Structure 1
Amino acid sequence: MSRTMLLLLLTMPIPVFAQQKTNENLLQYVKPIIGTQKMGHTYPGATVPFGAVQLSPETDTIPYEMNGKYNPDVYKYCAGYQYDDKTIVGFSHTHFSGTGHSDLGDFLIMPTTGALQLNPGTASDPGSGYRSTFSHSTEVASPAYYKVKLEENNILAELTASNRVGFHQYTFPASGDAHIILDLMAGIYNYDNKNVWTFVRVENDTLITGYRQTNGWARTRTVYFAMTFSKPFYQYGHQNYVNNVYRGFWRKFDQTKNFPEMAGRQIRAYFDFKTTAGEKVKIKFALSPVSTAGALKNLRTEIPHWDFEQVKRDGEALWAHELQKVVIQSRSREEKENFYTAMYHAFINPTTYMDVDGQYRGLDMNVHQADNFTNYTTFSLWDTYRALHPLFNIVQPERNADMIRSMLAHYEQSAQHMLPVWSHYANENWCMIGYHSVSVIADAIMKGNAPFDVSKALDACITTARHRNYDGLGYYMDMGYVPEDKNGASVSKTLEYAYDDWCIAQVAKKLQRMDIYEEFIKRASNYKNVYDASVGFMRPKLSDGTFRKAFDELQTHDQGFIEGNAWNYSLYVPHDPAGMITMMGGKRAFSRHLDSLFTMHLPDKFFAETEDITRDGIIGNYVHGNEPSHHVAYLYNWTGEPWKTQERVRMILKKMYLPAPDGLGGNDDCGQMSAWYIFSTLGFYPVCPGAATYQLGSPAVDGATLHLENGKVFTIEVKNQGDKNVYVKKVVLNGQELLNNQLTHAAVMNGGTLIFYMSAKPDKRG
């Protein structure tokens, strides 16, 4: 075992089930290219589970604005890569996976030969800059490894990574003019003023250090680096693209060439080599949130050698270890590719955010020490509270507990005294709505995965939920709803606040803090205040207590909703489905409403007039590509028609997930889409995180074995499985038939056997 592998394994939880794993190579089923076309917004590059480095190609660098206006083309490049593109601009070290907004794309590197060009050129004329054409026929994307031929200069590019270090290997042709370009201007969602400052220091002829400060989605982000080459460069230089006036030293030096310090807002540097045919020039590039010294320590600790293949094998071993936590049985290779790629995508985010010594930069911009936990960042909580964090409570409980510790550290460092909403790199970007850290914390506490101070965690939840200045919350507290004339997306906010408040109530009750329970269980019923029985939908209400007259239940924008319409959000009461169903006319009427949602035809003008809405990810008016609908197919379990849940779930699995570049029916959203797939494929789903139960659906595999960190094994067997046999005849847990379409978390974590008996005919006994 290499020193690197040993170090990494010592810093991660190792369960006792290692000897029980399958001998099958599960890595073969992971296809990182899935989701890189159209709306998936995934990236194909190299990373390790929850790694701080995501080393991946950029196929274009699109400015955020054109002529002072938002450039809609930028949306395609949330992950920096689009499968349909024909050129690669370079390889950068930080990426989000599957988001609908973006940032990052730090420290782009590109190898070239011939005349030096320090601009990226254009996709239509790649020879006008340093970019290169490429072909998918030479592209390989697999866990912890990426390879592609850069055709313009006949250079083979290979990438791998450890947690904090990206490892590049470039095989050059014979050249007296080989270059490695380091572009500190490039980035994803680049604003004109995104770069605040960049600094590069040439320590010697193989070692470079520096940092980049940006003001993008994260307002105050600083990333430090240490970069080392496997062979010395013979000369170097840079260009400052803000201006070409170099101050200091009374101009006694030419600071553009062979000068060891480069500083400016827009810097592109280059390092020159002479190469022989087939020579490999390797680069190790380490990141740190703290300092260049921290980056250098990360580099020397994680990859102290130059064996590219060893680092690749180490990364593959880490992925193999994680994938073995759920071993499925399926006769379909496509099913295995979908499932294990979903596992891969689910285990990318959140990402490690600290140096090997535990230091990290906090929300207060001071340096903190993570004592006895791993500090994480990239919390897309509006998405991931629904299924990703509940999945972690089963297969990644130690990591999920550390993620909550990271959220609590965020709270302690927050000037607003709030838990994270959507945070990354020591910044809160306040994207989306609700305060869904509360859901993640409550889910862990109620499921017994809370090795932290639960009383302090509850206090953080309460303080967050009482923050009157946050996004209409004061109105909500005073009036029982958010009025649309005072704060937009008011219905969505009211509904999501009510759910989060229910989560707080559950924890308060568990901790016997009954005054808090009474306060928040009352708030949890506020969803009723925005239901208009006269139209049968949730509807925006004004501050005078009347419903707004202008109302279109099919439209999203300016209707009181966000990333959904009245049809979708009227079904968003995950904490009280029975109450919602009664309010909406009873089981029969509610079932008809669900049927219409899945089967209705949306008019063409709906897509033409609604910004950012496409037909991708939509079945009828059920929008799987947007998270508010993710629990909806399971609501038939409350109408006495679970067979409809079963057929809808299997339909969604078939339509929304394919082992192809365009195989995701919407943004993967930091693993939420993938977590939905994993749960639903196994046959159960967390409709209401914060409740220690799951709703049963229809498993899509022949069976599965869950190897749990507590050493126990939970086995799922599926009898008479088939594409037509989507209906569940009966379900038996450890010899006892389940009669309520529900599975408890304790039953999973205690180990045992769950058997589904499938049929081609629905069991309509309810």
Structure 2
Amino acid sequence: MKHRIIALAALVGLFSSSCGTDRDAGKTAEKQNAAAQELTPAEYVNPLIGASTSTGKAGIYHGLGKTFPGATTPYGLVQVSPNTITGGDNGSGYSYEHTSIEGFAFTQMSGIGWYGDLGNFLVTPTTGTLHTARGKEGVAGSGYRSGYSKKEEKAAAGYYAATLTDYNIKAEMTAAPHSGMLRFTFPENKKSRIQIDLARRVGGTSTRQYVQVVDNHTIKGWMKCTPDGGGWGNGDGHADYTVYFYAQFSKPFKKLGAWKADIPKNWTRKREDIESDRYQERVAKAAILDSVTTLEGDHLGVFAEYETRKDDPILFKSGISFVSMDGAEKNLQKEISGWDFDGLHKQAVGLWNNALSAMNVSGGSDEDKHIFYTALYHTMIDPRMFADVDGSFTGGDGKIHQSNDYTRRTIFSGWDVFRSQFPLQTLINPKLVNDMVHSLLSLADERKKPYLERWEMLNAYSGCMIGNPALSVIADANSKGIARFDKEKALKYAVQTSNEFGNGERGFTVEPFGISNTLEYAYTEWCTSALAKSLGKSDIAKVFEKRGQSYRNIFDKTKGWFRPKDKAGNWQPWPAEGRMQDGYGCVESNPYQQGWFVPQDIPGMVTLMGGSEKVATDLTTFFDKVPENMMWNGYYNHANEPVHHVPFLFNCVGKPWLTQKWTREICRRAYHNSVEGLVGNEDVGQMSAWYVLAASGLYQVCPGKNRFEITSPVFEKVTLRLDPAYAKGKDFTIIAHENSPKNVYIQSAKLNGKAHNQCYLDYNDIAAGGTLELTMGPQPNQKFRK
């Protein structure tokens, strides 16, 4: 089922007579195409793409996209979104196949597994009997959750709406960068209310809460979230943060009620605990306090009760801060001074149109545009701003800091996003790249850590996944000349990080994940070398250049592939499945998939593997055996990151037409304008960034080297808006003449009017501005192969 946002103008001509002439039909088609072109970028966005955690439909425990459909702004601190589940491996808090909504939270994560986190400050409009527990899905009246109408669910850039059928309440929401607003339209009822579960958290629970009544329409408070309450990695991700709020109701309340659950001190409060019946029974039997002015406890909720008439609107807004209650108040006052919901919604759409205009596409189908602009939208959620409107933020040392020369950011899904998300941002948003590097360097200073974190979340050194991806981002920014951070400090941390987590003098890494770690460390050790070399540190560069060749130490010539070693340097036993064995020295992959990752030295890798022709043949098998739907599989597995660069390796072995063929196939088969439109986790922008780049006709295999591969664009024209503070040019345009679903092969190319016979570009060619013209055809031109 597809959920498409369609402008009324796009319907012109749909009801004209089927008896018209071919010319009439052509004119109708032209009108429809013209109407489609009139849509703004934000109108193409469908936030429901990927909004499913279903493991059944994915065929693997990782599930599908795991995006959230709620309202947010570009890289905003606040995301006001529906939550359908607490617990399980449901990082976004929402999954389309669920039949009820618990409420609407003000913070969310996008496209992640590992049980997730955030989902704080859950607001639910209800009527009738007060419920203090969320209840069970499918059991009406068991809690405050409600069924909702799928037909009336709407999701768009900066807006979400749903009708809660148990209460006959329409809920709408929109957002500003640090704050959000909800509009509830109530039925006639003497016991209507807005209730807030302060304990709620996606992957567990907040462990301490506080609320204070400021006046008869304002409350403020905080929610403390620690590893003891589960969250990121069910506590193993070390997330430890406090969410502060300053919230107001449009209709004054006579009194504010509360509930307080008695949770025994000896009970643990991880994910599996708060999901248990005994825990929920305690919450359901919480003491209800008729009126409070201040309250602090371990499991609290509050509610404002009203008598409503039919279609009575009550609005609710809140500023959110990770610094203080005063910060939350300042955020709200700066961004949402009144109660103009529609005006705030319009403002959010304006922010999205401005952000999404960093790229403009024409040609392709209406479906392609929905997929493209939604993918671009998903790349603009993280890394989100972490500072308040005045630039203040809570540092890794727990102290309040002020950021004057950069925006403090958080949620760096390093292992995923160094591959496509950050290379994309270097083109369209280089300031964001610098902000993230500043943030990681400052965090290491504040935490007094000798190394840079690989997966940062709200100041936590979570240690999630493998490798040293921050070094990739640093080296890439430096190579492209867009670095605006302390390079000497960056090098210091790069060296320390590589020494702390790397192949070192031994030249390989042992289990777990001996193949994955050895290959990824070799790449980031090369990144350290490249950074050192650019700074004139030849002694450091020499050491890490050698380590960048460590991948050779685990290549077994007798097997013709990479193989893990034990501590003594002996080969681990070769499995019966060979390089197809999942988990054999690899994380979330098999050796066949992981073994292609030597981006820093592709010629060396190809030589080890037997030369270009043998590699091209092996790559062809790797792709030919992929299932039509491209769901999780043992060959080219687009659902997970380790293989994302592999389609572009055909460019490097003299067969670029196969890169052109397969990137178009992946764009067609792995991305759709539907809830199941992503074959794997969105992973904080990575899955979508791959599409944005590939559909544009470009891809960077090795961040840190300025080579961008050229491939077959989905669109006839793609324009990238360049940042004049970082690039010489105003924009860079890719034009694909005669492009179509059949004409996927590049026949010839021109760069700024001159013949271009290479299947790649230098970053500086892009940053200088100009035009790459491709002429497309239905058959490969094997002379276009350099």
TM-score by length of 1: 0.89
State the 1:151 CA deviation.
Answer: 1.0
Alignment equivalent of 1:594, drawn from 594, 608, 619:
619
State the 1:154 CA deviation.
Answer: 0.9
Pick which of 261-270 and 170-179 moved more: 261-270
Residue equivalent to 2:218:
207
Alignment equivalent of 1:655, drawn from 644, 657, 669:
669
Alignment equivalent of 1:498, drawn from 500, 505, 522:
522
How do residues 235-246 of structure 1 correspond to structure 2 at under 5 angstroms?
Answer: 235-243=255-263
Pick which of 552-561 and 89-98 moved more: 552-561
Alignment equivalent of 1:32, drawn from 38, 47, 71:
47
In structure 1, the residue corresponding to 2:509 is in which secondary structure?
Answer: coil
Contact 2:582-2:591 at 8 Å conserved across structures: no
Residue equivalent to 1:195:
206
State the 1:34 CA deviation.
Answer: 0.4
Pick which of 364-373 and 592-601 moved more: 592-601
User: Is 1:687 matched up with 2:701?
Assistant: yes
| Deviation readout 1:522-579 (Å, 9 max, x if unpaired) | 0100011111111122111111211111434355655111011100111010111111
Residue equivalent to 2:113:
100
| Deviation readout 1:653-692 (Å, 9 max, x if unpaired) | 1111000110001111111111100110111101001111
In structure 1, the residue corresponding to 2:222 is in which secondary structure?
Answer: strand
State the 1:424 CA deviation.
Answer: 1.3
How do residues 580-729 of structure 1 correspond to structure 2 at under 5 angstroms?
Answer: 580-600=605-625, 617-618=631-632, 621-710=635-724, 712-729=730-747
How do residues 556-595 of structure 1 correspond to structure 2 at under 5 angstroms?
Answer: 558-595=583-620
Matched residue type, 2:504: M
Residue equivalent to 2:163:
149
Contact 2:667-2:691 at 8 Å conserved across structures: yes
Matches of 2:342 and 2:670, distance apart in 1: 36
State the 1:600 CA deviation.
Answer: 3.1
Pick which of 711-720 and 514-523 moved more: 711-720
In structure 1, the residue corresponding to 2:543 is in which secondary structure?
Answer: helix
Matches of 2:580 and 2:258, distance apart in 1: 51
State the 1:489 CA deviation.
Answer: 1.0
Matches of 2:413 and 2:570, distance apart in 1: 34
Matches of 1:616 and 1:311, distance apart in 2: 40
Matches of 2:264 and 2:549, distance apart in 1: 62
Residue equivalent to 1:168:
182
In structure 1, the residue corresponding to 2:215 is in which secondary structure?
Answer: coil
In structure 1, the residue corresponding to 2:599 is in which secondary structure?
Answer: coil
Matches of 2:338 and 2:184, distance apart in 1: 17
Matches of 2:581 and 2:177, distance apart in 1: 40
Residue equivalent to 1:282:
315
Residue equivalent to 1:416:
449
State the 1:121 CA deviation.
Answer: 1.6
State the 1:213 CA deviation.
Answer: 1.1
Which consecutive unaligned segments of at least 5 residues does structure 2 have? 1-36, 55-63, 233-237, 266-286
User: Is 1:548 matched up with 2:588?
Assistant: no
User: Is 1:371 matched up with 2:386?
Assistant: no
Residue equivalent to 1:14:
none
Pick which of 259-268 and 441-450 moved more: 259-268
Contact 2:629-2:669 at 8 Å conserved across structures: no
Matched residue type, 1:378: I
State the 1:739 CA deviation.
Answer: 2.2
State the 1:591 CA deviation.
Answer: 1.1
Matches of 1:736 and 1:412, distance apart in 2: 49
Contact 1:658-1:664 at 8 Å conserved across structures: yes
Residue equivalent to 1:249:
none
User: Is 1:463 matched up with 2:496?
Assistant: yes
Matches of 1:558 and 1:635, distance apart in 2: 23
Shift in alpha-carbon separation, 1:616–1:740, aligned structure 2, 3 A:
closer
In structure 2, the residue corresponding to 1:282 is in which secondary structure?
Answer: strand
Matched residue type, 2:426: N
| Deviation readout 1:441-474 (Å, 9 max, x if unpaired) | 111111111122222222221122122xx4xx4x
Alignment equivalent of 2:755, drawn from 725, 730, 737:
737
User: Is 1:224 matched up with 2:244?
Assistant: yes
Matches of 2:262 and 2:475, distance apart in 1: 49
State the 1:417 CA deviation.
Answer: 2.1
Matches of 2:432 and 2:91, distance apart in 1: 26
Matches of 1:221 and 1:556, distance apart in 2: 39
Matches of 1:750 and 1:478, distance apart in 2: 41
Alignment equivalent of 2:324, drawn from 291, 294, 299:
291
Pick which of 254-263 and 116-125 moved more: 254-263
Matched residue type, 1:29: Y
Matches of 1:570 and 1:639, distance apart in 2: 16
Shift in alpha-carbon separation, 1:758–1:535, aligned structure 2, 3 A:
same
Contact 2:260-2:288 at 8 Å conserved across structures: no
Matches of 2:163 and 2:452, distance apart in 1: 45
State the 1:401 CA deviation.
Answer: 1.5
In structure 2, the residue corresponding to 1:85 is in which secondary structure?
Answer: coil
Matches of 1:120 and 1:219, distance apart in 2: 24
| Deviation readout 1:283-340 (Å, 9 max, x if unpaired) | 1111111111111111111111111111111110000001111110124100100100
Matches of 1:400 and 1:187, distance apart in 2: 29
Matched-pair identity in %? 36
Pick which of 703-712 and 345-354 moved more: 703-712
In structure 1, the residue corresponding to 2:685 is in which secondary structure?
Answer: helix
In structure 2, the residue corresponding to 1:327 is in which secondary structure?
Answer: strand
Alignment equivalent of 2:137, drawn from 109, 112, 123:
123
Matches of 2:72 and 2:41, distance apart in 1: 17
Pick which of 663-672 and 530-539 moved more: 530-539
Alignment equivalent of 1:530, drawn from 554, 559, 564:
554
Contact 1:556-1:563 at 8 Å conserved across structures: no
Residue equivalent to 2:280:
none
Matches of 1:529 and 1:759, distance apart in 2: 43
User: Is 1:395 matched up with 2:395?
Assistant: no
Matches of 1:501 and 1:332, distance apart in 2: 43
Alignment equivalent of 2:194, drawn from 170, 175, 180:
180
Matches of 1:261 and 1:616, distance apart in 2: 54
Contact 2:198-2:223 at 8 Å conserved across structures: yes
State the 1:80 CA deviation.
Answer: 0.8
Shift in alpha-carbon separation, 1:179–1:556, aligned structure 2, 3 A:
farther
Matches of 2:349 and 2:573, distance apart in 1: 58
Shift in alpha-carbon separation, 1:591–1:372, aligned structure 2, 3 A:
same
Shift in alpha-carbon separation, 1:189–1:735, aligned structure 2, 3 A:
same
Alignment equivalent of 2:507, drawn from 480, 503, 524:
480
In structure 2, the residue corresponding to 1:271 is in which secondary structure?
Answer: strand
Number of residues of Structure 1 aligned to a counterpart in Structure 2: 702
Matched residue type, 1:155: I
Matches of 1:149 and 1:221, distance apart in 2: 32
State the 1:221 CA deviation.
Answer: 1.3
State the 1:414 CA deviation.
Answer: 2.5
Pick which of 733-742 and 164-173 moved more: 733-742
Matched residue type, 1:35: G
Contact 2:583-2:589 at 8 Å conserved across structures: no
How do residues 53-132 of structure 1 correspond to structure 2 at under 5 angstroms?
Answer: 53-62=78-87, 74-75=88-89, 77-101=90-114, 102-132=116-146
State the 1:737 CA deviation.
Answer: 2.2
User: Is 1:508 matched up with 2:532?
Assistant: yes
Contact 2:696-2:713 at 8 Å conserved across structures: yes
State the 1:601 CA deviation.
Answer: 6.9
Matches of 1:736 and 1:556, distance apart in 2: 48
Matches of 1:601 and 1:299, distance apart in 2: 50
Matched residue type, 2:772: L
Matched residue type, 1:59: T
Contact 1:556-1:562 at 8 Å conserved across structures: no
Matches of 1:738 and 1:503, distance apart in 2: 29
TM-score by length of 2: 0.87
Matches of 1:227 and 1:291, distance apart in 2: 13
Q: CA RMSD in A?
A: 1.8
In structure 1, the residue corresponding to 2:657 is in which secondary structure?
Answer: helix
